[in-house]
Amino acid sequence: MTPRNTRIDPDQLALMVEHGTPYREIAEYFGVTVSGVQQAVERLGLQRPTLSHKKFLPWRVGNEHKHSGPATALRHLSMVAQGKPIPIVKLNSALRWANRLYRDGLDIDYDRNRGFYERTATDPWHIEMVLNDVRKAMDKVYPGL
């Protein structure tokens, strides 16, 4: 009996997954279906780690606020804190926003009706936690920066 997906070279697949190649492109490269790629990735233990932004966005955010500036900045900072590099321009923008809040003694909060809003910081200070987590990860995510 021959192994399944013999057309998929495990080493090449690992390289492509590591470089973030979309599964559709990998499937085309190997001449298999996207499902075949997914199965090979699972079988070889190459799943991309999933990120959760719940720590940085602990609120139930309405659809109308999911792409607002604060939500986007918090997601970007969450990615960096979890070890995923983002474009430096997005990092700089998110850090400028968070550092301004921190410097001015403000925090971010959310209300379903109001959306995101700034308020005077109290303990626990959400934006302080965000910045501390990002600072801890910066050397690993952006060495030499």
Same-domain pairing of 85 and 133 = yes
Q: Is residue 51 part of a domain?
A: no
* Contact residues for 145 (Cβ-Cβ < 8 A; gap 6+): 88, 138
Do 73 and 92 touch, CB atoms closer than 8 A? no
CA–CA separation, 92 vs 64, rounded Å?
25
Q: Is residue 57 part of a domain?
A: no
Same-domain pairing of 135 and 69 = yes
Same-domain pairing of 29 and 78 = no
Per-residue pLDDT of the chain (145 residues; tens, 9 = 90+): 334 445 899 999 999 988 888 899 999 999 999 999 999 999 998 887 788 999 999 999 999 999 999 999 999 999 999 998 999 999 999 999 999 999 999 999 999 999 999 999 999 999 999 999 999 999 888 887 7
Same-domain pairing of 69 and 40 = no
Same-domain pairing of 31 and 84 = no
Same-domain pairing of 76 and 24 = no
Same-domain pairing of 68 and 37 = no
Domain tally for the chain?
Answer: 2
Residues spanned by the domain of 108: 63-141
Same-domain pairing of 67 and 38 = no
Q: How far is CA 28 from the centre of its chain?
A: 26
Structure tokens at 126: 């959400």
Same-domain pairing of 81 and 130 = yes
The answer to whether the peptide bond before residue 87 is cis (omega within 30 degrees of 0) is: no
